[in-house]
Amino acid sequence: MTDVLGTPSGYRRWDWTTSEPDGWTAVDPRLPIVVEGCGALSRASAPLASFRVWLEADDATRWERSIRRDGEVFAREWERWAAQEATFIATEQPVSLADVVVRT
């Protein structure tokens, strides 16, 4: 989160094809920004956000949406990423940090 709001403000993209960091994308920290991802809401990032939303869906819905969006790249990584996500959620308790929880 400090990369996004620090100097210079921005983030490094990820190249899913090469599995390596890609180019830098600058953002204007004076403008509203949305930081999303299963690891975006943590105890470290929560105080930096003006509004925190946690989205929840059952596993079958999440799988279907993920595969529709990212295809086979995501399917190959699902088990590994799901385990990492479960560890993150157990450690960080992001739902308790959210201002709003949306169940889809």
Look at residue 11 in the predicted model and tell me its pLDDT.
86
Look at residue 72 in the predicted model and tell me its pLDDT.
79
Look at residue 5 in the predicted model and tell me its pLDDT.
61
Task: Please spell the DSSP secondary structure of the chain, one letter per residue.
Answer: -HHHHSSS-EEEEEETTTTEEEEEEE--TTS-----STTSS-TTTGGG-SS-EEEE--HHHHHHHHHHHHTHHHHHHHHHHHHHHHHHHHHH-HHHH-SEEEE-
Look at residue 22 in the predicted model and tell me its pLDDT.
93
pLDDT tens series, the chain, 104 aa? 455 666 778 888 888 778 899 999 998 878 888 888 888 999 988 988 889 999 999 989 988 998 888 887 778 888 888 899 999 999 999 999 999 999 98
Look at residue 48 in the predicted model and tell me its pLDDT.
83
Look at residue 3 in the predicted model and tell me its pLDDT.
59
Look at residue 53 in the predicted model and tell me its pLDDT.
95
Would you call 9 exposed, middle or buried from its count of C-beta atoms within 10 A (0-12, 13-18, 19+)?
Answer: middle
